[in-house]
Amino acid sequence: MSAAITRAACEDLLYEEAALLDEWRLDEWLALFVEGATYEVPTAGAADNVQSTDTLFYIADDWHRLCQRVERLKKNTAHSEFPRSDGLRLVSNVRLLGEDGRGMLVGSAFVTYRSKNDRTECFMGHHRHHLVLVEGRLRIAAKRSLLDMNSLRAQGRVSIIL
């Protein structure tokens, strides 16, 4: 295991990511990613290894689409998030799952609370981050948020970033 990528450093990055999203600091959140990064949210209950080429995903963003998503969410024409939701993200059980020569695969559990229009929704699941060192700083090369729920029926949509 790389001495430069520690569990504590990974936890710090994941907690910072959650705080930036809670505070709706989307440009700073996007800056945590390396150019070329991906962000995926498979459908509820999907297996960890499901591929967006074979299955429908709620979100399957390449770098270009991720940048567009951030720009769109900042506009008042993003009706699902204008005015934006209040949110709180909890990240726990951070584990180093292994190195791949470029960086570290990191697993964590999450609960995301979203409150809007007198309704609070809860999304729970687990993240898989691929973190890399760039100029001595940990950055996100890929993020996959897997919902450990059997449906979104009560919530009806995922209009926020998990």
Q: Sign (positive/negative) of CA torsion 48, 70, 140, 91?
A: negative
Question: What are phi and psi for residue 50, nearest 5 degrees?
Answer: -60, 145
* The residue count for the chain: 162
- Whether residue 2 is predicted with pLDDT greater than 60 in this model: the reply is no
Domains of the chain (ranges plus CATH)? 7-147 (3.10.450.50)
State the average pLDDT over residues 9-38. Answer: 97
Q: In terms of DSSP H, where are the helices of 1-133?
A: 7-22, 26-30, 63-73
Mean pLDDT score of the chain, rounded to an integer?
90
- Whether residue 138 is predicted with pLDDT greater than 70 in this model: the reply is yes
Confidence of residue 4 (pLDDT cuts 50, 70, 90): confident
Q: Is the peptide bond before 83 cis (omega within 30 degrees of 0)?
A: yes
Q: What local confidence, expressed as pLDDT, does residue 1 receive?
A: 44
Its pTM stands at 0.91
Instruction: Map tokens 């989307």 to a residue.
Output: 26
The answer to whether 132 and 103 have CB atoms below 8 angstroms apart is yes
CA 37/CA 30 separation, integer angstroms: 10
Q: In what order do the strands lie in the sheet with 86-99?
A: 57-61, 33-42, 137-147, 119-134, 103-116, 86-99
Confidence of residue 39 (pLDDT cuts 50, 70, 90): very high
Q: What local confidence, expressed as pLDDT, does residue 152 receive?
A: 73
Tell me: the pLDDT tens digits for 59-78? 999 999 999 999 999 988 87
Burial class (CB in 10 A: 0-12, 13-18, 19+), 136: exposed
- Whether residue 153 is predicted with pLDDT greater than 70 in this model: the reply is no
Percent of the chain with pLDDT over 90: 65
Instruction: Map tokens 């450990």 to a residue.
Output: 148
- Whether residue 154 is predicted with pLDDT greater than 70 in this model: the reply is no
